[in-house]
Amino acid sequence: MKNFTFNIRWKEELDGFVDGHRFTVEITMGSLHVYFPNEVTWERDAPDWAKGIWPEASDAAARWATGQSIPFDIDDRAWVSFAKE
């Protein structure tokens, strides 16, 4: 199991970190809410290092959000970006 960490960033972005890599998903401000992309969107946009880890990443993000009392949804309209290396 991979070790994921998360950090809220300005401009409604939630950074996820794993194995020295970074990905970013949407977190609305004001009324905090995490919107995580579905697996199809993740895999379509994922670089090699992120392919196949959507189940772990989404579970880790959901656990993090729950621990912070922040609502979490997997949303067909949600986006993800991956840091260039």
In the structure, what pLDDT confidence band is assigned to residue 1 with cuts at 50, 70 and 90? confident
Domain that residue 76 falls in: 5-82
pLDDT band at 11 (very low <50, low <70, confident <90, very high): confident
Per-residue pLDDT tens for 66-84? 999 999 999 999 999 999 8
Tens of pLDDT, residues 27-38:
999 999 999 999
Convert the chain into a string of H (helix), E (strand) and C (coil).
CCCCEEEEECCCEEEEEECCEEEEEEEECCCCEEEEECHHHHHHHCCHHHCCCHHHHHHHHHHHHHHCCCCEEEECCCCEEECCC
Query: Taking residues 25-49, what's their average pLDDT?
Result: 97
